[in-house]
Structure 1
Amino acid sequence: MITPEVAADLVGESLQIVTQLVMVLVVPSLVVGLLVALFQAATSINEQTLSFLPRLLVTLLVIGLLGRWMVGRLMDFCVSIFERAATLIG
């Protein structure tokens, strides 16, 4: 039987996993964006593609390097959800 405690645990765990996965993608892009913004402010270059392209490349690099880990985390979570569902129903 699903109780409010079990539902709260599932929501909490899912939010934790989503937060981890988003932070892995956002933090490197944020750092590169900050560095590019500092470079643009120092050189007075206001080119839009200069700020977009490095962030895109860093995000793609992070996905390439950590994509397997991210998919593994999601798969482990899905397996645990299905295992819990089997015990909660029966």
Structure 2
Amino acid sequence: MTPEFVIKLAESGVYTVLITAGPLLLLALAVGLLISIFQATTQIQEQTLSFVPKIAAVLIGLVFFGPFMITKVLDFTRNIFQNLHTFVG
């Protein structure tokens, strides 16, 4: 295995993680921003108020984005196992 091959494999892994986790992170970010704007306008300074909507949004996001995420992770895993002979020898 050459260093370029290892870097390419690591790059592919990081890309898969970013594509997989990205939609849920963006959803949590958007909900957190909306809750913070709501807290600023109503002057409610409760720290735990943002957790429940974020958790609910991420769970709903898992329902919608779950098949996409599983497909991406399975494609990456399948690619690793199919090319295992190039990693070892």
Answering whether residue 30 of structure 2 is matched by residue 22 of structure 1, we say: no
Q: Which moves more between the two structures, 11-20 or 80-89?
A: 80-89
- Show structure 1 runs of 5+ residues with no match: none
Q: What fraction of aligned residue pairs are identical, expressed as a percent? A: 36
Whether the aligned pair in 1 keeps the contact of 2:28 and 2:54 (CA below 8 Å) is yes
The aligned counterpart of 1:47 is: 46
What per-residue deviation string (whole Å, max 9, x for no partner) do you get for residues 41-90 of structure 1? Answer: 10011223321111111100111111111011111101101111124445
Identify unmatched segments of 5+ residues in structure 2: none
Residues in 2 aligned to 1:89 and 1:82: alpha-carbon distance in whole angstroms: 11
Q: Pick 1 or 2: higher relative contact order, CA cutoff 8 A, min separation 6.
A: 2
> Against the structure 1 CA distance between its residues 36 and 5, is the aligned structure 2 distance closer, same or farther, given a 3 Å change threshold?
same
TM-score with structure 1 setting the length: 0.89
Runs of 4+ in 1 over 6 A off after TM superposition: none
Aligned positions, number? 89
Tell me the distance in 2 between the aligned counterparts of 1:52 and 1:88.
43
Task: Give the residue type in structure 2 aligned to 1:75.
Answer: L
- Kept in 1, the 8 Å contact 2:27–2:57? The answer is yes
- In 1, Cα distance between the equivalents of 2:80 and 2:4? 15
Partner of 1:81: 80
SS of 1:13's equivalent in the other structure is helix
TM-score (norm 2): 0.90
Deviation, structure 1 residue 19: 1.1
2:20 and 2:73 in contact (8 A); partners too = no
| CA RMSD in angstroms, aligned pairs only | 1.3
